[in-house]
Amino acid sequence: MVTRRATFAGMFYPDNPALLKRELDAFFKDVSDDYRGNPLGIVSPHAGITYSGLTAAYAYSSVKRDFSGTFIVVGPSHAGYPDCVSTLSWETPLGIVENDFFLSKKLSKVIIEDNFAHAQRENSLEVQMPFIKFRFPDAKVVAVLMGNQSRTNALAMAEAIYNTVSDTKSDVIVVASSDFSHYVPVSRALKYDEYAIDALKNLNTTEFYRRIFDEDISACGYGPITVMVEYCRLKGAKRGVLLNYSTSGDVTKDYLQVVGYAAIAVE
């Protein structure tokens, strides 16, 4: 089996399986169980798990533990690669997350397949994989890099995913991988991240884009978030629910230069 190597193990998350399990277990145990929905998609952050791991655990805890379908993970291409899908399975310190090869190949008819691009160092996709393997050991993944984050392209990608999932009758949850404000004072992060996220409560991605650009909010995965939300709208979703918000300052105690993280469920 050809796999995508875990390039950030030992940096963004522990490469020691026992230590990684211990950290992930602690995150999930700290999640409050107030949410009772059944999301079609989620937003999860992708920073080093020391900083964003609890918020990511909130995102994945919104999914029923017995989920054994496929996570379509859409992440921004920080290195500038164009939109592309991968047919590779993913190595993690906890074992292999298998690629849903059938669904990946079907999706590659409308989103180009590029395993070379996916084999490069890209934390937006990789950091999701240990959470998926730990929480949903029988689930599979389809990984999508998004290079063009225009709203027009996001709508087209959402429709492509929706049509492919419908045609294949796949059991899917879409994960939008994104952090929010980057390296700003905590007061700005709290104010403007909340402002952007508020537009997602009624799934208004037009307003979401306007707020992102009008206020220069440095969320890196606004495109993947829109893909996920619009896919969920096509599936009948009605609202977005903010499950958790945090910043790197909660860990570092440096509140002058923080990164914001949000866990959002769309149902």
Tell me which residue range forms the domain holding 134: 3-26+36-266
Overall number of domains in the chain: 1
Assigned domain for 79 exists: yes
Nearest to 170 by CA among 97, 99, 90, 227: 99
CA dihedral 10→15→18→21, nearest 10 degrees, is 80
Judge contact between 125 and 6, C-beta under 8 A: no
Chain segment 133-163, per-residue pLDDT in tens: 999 999 999 999 999 999 999 999 999 999 9
Assigned domain for 31 exists: no
Nearest to 93 by CA among 127, 61, 118: 127
Assigned domain for 21 exists: yes
Give the distance between the most distant pair of CA atoms in the chain. 49
Assigned domain for 145 exists: yes
User: What is the residue-level pLDDT of the chain in tens, covering all 267 positions?
Assistant: 689 999 999 999 999 999 999 999 999 999 998 898 999 999 999 999 999 999 999 999 999 999 999 999 999 999 999 999 999 999 999 999 999 999 999 999 999 999 999 999 899 999 999 999 999 999 999 999 999 999 999 999 999 999 999 999 999 999 999 999 999 999 999 999 999 999 999 999 999 999 999 999 999 999 999 999 999 999 999 999 999 999 999 999 999 999 999 999 999
Distance between CA 146 and CA 25 in Å, rounded? 30
Distance between CA 180 and CA 188 in Å, rounded? 11
Domain with residue 248: its CATH number is: 3.40.830.10
Assigned domain for 93 exists: yes
Assigned domain for 154 exists: yes
Assigned domain for 47 exists: yes
